[in-house]
Every structure is written in structure tokens, then in C-alpha cells.
């Protein structure tokens, strides 16, 4: 028997739903599973070849959903995939965010109360929980939501020091985690992440559509149970996502099923508290990939900006050259062989920014809008520059905020604007394209 036939026959796909709490608010569920169907065929006969098969499968499923729910054909717009080259260059986080948000926005207005808002983006802490649990399942050849004995996904979130109960930095959600597993006697599992997301939405009858409801959860409840509370960041999106996938010959998820290769996918959703409460409780949300920078996928222009990169770019904008070599003694976490070491040490010499902590620069940490405000103004006006006292022009930046003076001065200077009519979103992660726009205005 050919290996390809073995793969087709023995792929196993499981969804398990954590049902401790009530169902989530979401668009209407479909009534019958819709099996993945692409250019190669249906189910085990499918091709799983790439972006063409991904779009074929999802768009076939949308037509079938319209039939099941009595919608006019093409009520759900088609999924449009980027080129294969662009898709292959994306991270799992970016792929998941792209597919999930397209499914969410496609349902805007199909029923009363369904806004179809995208998720806000990938948040570092919740993404780290997904990575931890995927690695645990992989390393222990196991499945299930409480395999680590922690008490399950809700407890893992509650126990996280940055977003959990220690700071009380999350709203209640009735869903938190989706899991998917694959196994084969072959040596490869194609499109595990894409097929997992598809399965959560369209092939989930055995789990009572719980995974579908988690993926499509909205901020306006369609039943008596809770949903997202859209009070953090822009009103145009809601909630954070974390996702991690591992595929290897070392993962055998099903003891009674002999396999040579396995895959596990862990998806977490998370609802942050309001901007005002997050500020009071010092909630450390770090959005490493924003949804606004995923739609219309570009090459690398939407990657998040890191502190080391910021130092180099600001000095280049100022036409300041660094020394030929770095000493490696200015910061404990910037050795002389760090790719941005010479720029970081010159950045310190120019006094454009302090480090992130005593003796540290944190060169690989992402940059937030509030951090960037002081850097841009000092680079533009000089290290001795001091802004005027803040007056409170943004609702999410009180005058008592340590960065308020700098944030307001940056806006008044016209170098950047808020994220909304009356908000600055100071914790928002800065991407390369946003940063480049600011540099072009500040240093024409």
C-alpha cells in the first residue's frame, strides 16, 4: 500500500471541549458536520495541497453553511487567501489570526446582534500558555485539557502572574481552550493548523459545536450567557488569541493507535479588562501581532518592532553612526556580539532612552506606543528636552500616568495620533510600518 494511501486512511482528528461552563454566545451553529472538501476530493481523499485547497475547503463549507441555515448563497463572503509564498512565510500565529478573523468578520450582520468583530491580536502571555500546554501534551504523548493536573485551562489562566488572578486582569469567558490532535503512520501531516481551525468551525458536531462557539464568540450575547466585553483597545476588535502547534515523529497521542507522526494544536482565547482597569491593576498585556496588521498580508512590514531595532532606526534617522565595535559592558543583556549592540550602546551615549531595568536594555522586547513617545521626542528635541505637563487629552492616559506628558507632547507635535478619537492605546505594540510612518514625519 502506498504511503499516501496510508496517510489518507489513518489520519485521526479529535476535538475535545472543556464543558465546565455554559455555552458561549456566537452566531448560529450549523446542524451537520461539513467535511473538508478541496481540489483533491472530500475527507480522506482531500489534497491538502496549500492555499488553493485551503480556500476551496473553507469556501465550500461556507456554501454548505448557507444551505443548512437557510441563507442566500454568498451571504458569507469567500475566504481570499494570500499567495502561497506569502502564506508559507507567515508564523502559525499569523496564519491562525488570519483564518479565524476572516471567519468572524464574514458573519457580520448575518443575524441580529452579530457584529463580526475580529480578535485584537496575539497576546504574549496567553500565547505562552498555549505554547506551554502544547509542549506538555507533546512531551507526554497525551491529550485532554487537564493532562498536566493543573485543573484545566481556566485555572492555568488564573494562575498566570501577568494576566491571572494575581492582578485580576481578565474578564470571565465561558470558553478558553480548543485542542486538536492528528496521528498518521506516514511521516507528515499536512496543514494541521489550518485543518484544526476548519474542524473547530465546521466539523464539530461531536463536541456540541463548543469549539465553533469559542472561535466565533462575539461581544453581543445571542443567549443568556456571557461573551466578550468590548472595552479594551479599539472598539473595532475584541479579545486576544494564543495558539501553538507542534508536529513531530515523537508525538503519539493515541496509545491504542500505532502511529509514526503526530500533531497537536492548542488555541486559547482571552478577554482583557477595560483600559481603565488595566491601567489601575498594571495588567501587562503585550500584543505581539495585531489583527490590523494581518489583513491584506504584507511581507515583513507588519512585524513588531523590537527595542534593539528601534535604537538602530532612530540613530539612522538622525544620521548618527555607531562605533565599529561594541564593548559589551554597557548592559548585562547586550553582549558585544548582539546584532544591534553597537547601535544600542550609541543610543545610550546619546541619552535618547534609559534601559528597561537596572543594567538591562531588553533588546529583543517589543516596543509599546508609550515607550516610543519619549524616545522620539528626545531624539528630535535633544536629550535635555522636557515636555509640558499633560492636560488629559486622552481618556486612557490620565495626567498621573508617568508617560502622559510625553504622549501628549508627541501627539501635539503631530508625529502620531491616537488609536481612536479620544484614546491613545499606550500599551499597543508598535509595528515596523507604524514606526516608519512616525520616523518619516519626525525626521523628514
72-90 per-position pLDDT tens digit: 888 888 888 888 887 888 8
Question: Is 299 within a domain?
Answer: no
Query: What rounded mean pLDDT belongs to the chain?
Result: 84
- Tell me what pLDDT residue 149 has: 95
97 has a pLDDT exceeding 90: yes
Same-domain check for residues 244 and 338: no
User: Are residues 176 and 263 located together in one domain of the fold?
Assistant: yes
Position 138 in a domain: yes
117 & 8 share domain = yes
Residue 171's nearest CA partner among 154, 183, 187, 188 is: 154
Domain stop point among 246, 266, 293: 293
Work out the average pLDDT over 222-235.
69
Instruction: Give the residue from 234, 208, 232, 230 showing the smallest Cα distance to 221.
Output: 230
pLDDT band at 290 (very low <50, low <70, confident <90, very high): confident
State how many domains the chain has: 2
**Domain match, 289 and 234 both:** yes
Residues 6+ apart with CB under 8 A from 113: 218, 220, 221, 222
Residue 239 pLDDT greater than 60, yes or no: yes
| Within a domain: 311 | yes
Does 262 lie in the same domain as 118?
A: yes
Element (H, E) at 61: helix 51-69
Say which residues have a Cβ less than 8 Å from residue 378's Cβ, sequence separation at least 6.
Answer: 351, 352, 353, 385
- CA gap 180, 291 in Å, rounded: 23
What is the C-alpha separation between 158 and 167, in angstroms, rounded? 9
Residue 298 lies in a domain: no
Residues 251, 340, single domain; the answer is no
Give SS3 for 296: coil
Do 251 and 376 reside in the same domain of the chain? no
| Nearest in space to 307 (alpha carbons), one of 349, 350, 351, 354 | 354
Buried-exposed string 277-306: b where 16+ CB fall within 10 A, e elsewhere: ebbeeebebbbbbbbbbbeebeeeebbbbb
Return the pLDDT at 303. 63
Average pLDDT over residues 234-246: 88
Count Cβ atoms below 10 Å from residue 185 Cβ, excluding itself: 16
347 and 233 share a domain? Answer: no
Whether 191 is in a domain gets the answer yes
Give domain status of residue 129, yes or no: yes
Q: How far is CA 278 from the centre of its chain?
A: 19
Q: Is 420 or 284 the better-scoring residue by pLDDT? A: 284
Shared domain check, 99 and 214: yes
State the residue for C-alpha cell 496564519. 95
The phi, psi pair for 344, rounded to 5°, reads -65, -40
pLDDT surpasses 50 at 40: yes
Q: Which of 61, 116, 126 is nearest to 93 (CA)?
A: 126
The residue with greater pLDDT, 440 or 57, is 57
- In the chain, what is the greatest distance between 2 CA atoms, to the nearest angstrom? 76
Residues in CB range of 31: below 8 A, 6 or more apart: 68
**pLDDT at residue 52 in the model:** 93
DSSP secondary structure of 152-189: -HHHHHHH-TTTSTTTT-B---S--EEEEEEEESSS--
Domain check: are 287 and 328 in the same one? no
Distance of CA 425 to the CA centre of its chain: 17
C-beta of residue 426 within 8 angstroms of C-beta of residue 403:
yes
C-alpha span between 305 and 368 (Å, rounded):
9
In a domain, 133, yes or no: yes
- Mean pLDDT, to the nearest integer, of 217-243? 75
Does 215 share its domain with 335? no
**Cα dihedral sign, 188-193-198-201:** positive
Q: Which 3 state secondary structure label does DSSP give 381?
A: helix
Q: What is the mean pLDDT of residues 119-146?
A: 94
What cell numbers appear for 243 in the block?
A: 495558539
Q: 206 and 136 in one domain?
A: yes
- Which of 231, 263, 293 represents a domain boundary (last residue)? 293
Last residue of a domain, one of 249, 266, 293: 293
| Domain housing 209 | 3-293
Is residue 332 a part of any domain in this protein? yes
DSSP letter at 262 equals E
Write down the residue that cell numbers 482571552 correspond to.
270
pLDDT at 18: 27
The pLDDT, as a whole number, for residue 423 is 82
Q: What is the DSSP string of 308-369?
A: HHHHHHHHHHTT-PPPSS--S-S-TT--TTSTTHHHHHHHHHHTS---SBTTB--TTSB-BH
Amino acid at each position: 500500500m502506498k504511503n499516501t494511501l496510508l496517510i489518507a486512511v489513518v489520519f485521526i482528528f479529535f476535538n475535545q471541549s472543556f464543558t465546565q461552563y455554559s455555552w458561549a454566545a456566537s452566531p448560529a451553529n450549523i446542524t451537520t458536520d461539513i467535511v473538508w472538501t478541496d481540489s483533491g476530493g472530500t475527507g480522506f481523499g482531500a489534497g491538502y495541497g496549500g492555499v488553493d485547497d485551503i480556500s476551496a475547503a473553507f469556501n465550500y463549507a461556507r456554501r454548505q453553511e448557507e444551505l443548512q441555515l437557510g441563507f442566500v448563497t454568498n451571504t458569507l463572503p469567500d475566504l481570499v487567501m494570500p499567495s502561497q509564498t506569502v502564506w508559507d512565510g507567515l508564523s502559525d500565529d499569523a496564519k491562525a489570526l488570519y483564518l479565524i478573523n476572516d471567519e468572524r468578520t464574514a458573519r457580520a450582520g448575518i443575524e441580529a446582534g452579530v457584529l463580526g468583530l475580529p480578535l485584537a491580536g496575539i497576546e504574549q502571555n496567553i500565547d505562552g500558555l498555549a505554547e506551554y500546554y502544547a509542549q506538555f501534551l507533546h512531551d507526554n504523548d497525551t491529550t485532554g485539557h487537564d493532562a498536566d493536573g493543573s485543573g484545566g485551562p481556566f485555572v492555568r489562566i488564573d494562575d498566570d502572574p501577568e494576566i491571572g488572578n494575581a492582578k485580576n486582569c481578565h474578564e470571565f469567558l465561558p470558553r478558553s481552550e480548543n485542542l486538536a490532535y492528528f496521528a498518521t503512520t506516514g511521516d507528515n501531516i499536512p496543514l494541521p493548523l489550518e485543518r484544526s481551525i476548519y474542524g473547530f468551525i465546521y466539523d464539530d458536531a461531536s463536541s456540541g459545536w463548543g469549539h465553533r462557539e469559542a472561535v466565533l464568540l462575539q461581544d453581543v450575547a445571542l443567549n443568556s450567557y456571557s461573551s466578550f466585553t468590548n472595552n479594551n483597545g479599539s472598539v473595532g476588535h475584541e479579545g486576544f488569541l494564543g495558539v501553538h502547534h507542534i508536529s513531530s515523529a515523537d508525538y503519539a497521542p493515541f496509545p491504542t493507535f500505532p502511529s509514526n507522526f503526530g500533531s497537536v494544536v492548542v488555541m486559547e482565547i482571552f478577554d482583557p479588562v477595560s483600559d481603565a482597569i488595566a491601567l489601575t491593576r498594571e495588567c501587562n498585556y503585550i500584543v505581539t501581532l495585531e489583527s490590523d496588521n494581518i489583513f491584506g498580508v504584507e511581507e515583513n512590514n507588519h512585524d513588531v518592532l523590537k527595542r534593539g531595532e528601534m535604537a538602530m532606526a532612530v540613530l539612522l534617522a538622525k544620521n548618527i553612526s555607531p562605533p565599529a565595535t561594541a564593548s559589551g559592558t554597557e548592559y548585562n543583556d547586550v553582549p558585544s556580539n548582539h546584532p544591534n549592540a553597537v547601535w544600542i550602546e550609541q543610543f545610550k551615549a546619546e541619552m535618547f532612552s534609559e534601559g528597561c531595568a537596572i543594567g538591562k536594555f531588553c533588546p529583543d522586547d517589543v516596543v509599546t506606543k508609550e515607550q516610543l513617545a519619549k524616545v522620539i521626542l528626545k531624539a528630535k528635541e535633544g536629550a535635555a528636552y522636557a515636555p509640558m505637563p499633560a492636560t488629559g487629552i486622552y481618556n486612557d492616559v490620565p495626567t498621573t500616568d508617568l508617560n502622559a506628558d510625553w504622549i501628549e507632547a508627541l501627539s501635539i507635535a503631530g508625529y502620531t495620533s491616537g488609536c481612536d478619537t479620544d484614546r491613545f492605546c499606550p500599551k499597543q505594540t508598535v509595528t515596523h510600518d507604524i514606526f516608519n510612518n512616525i520616523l518619516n514625519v519626525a525626521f523628514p
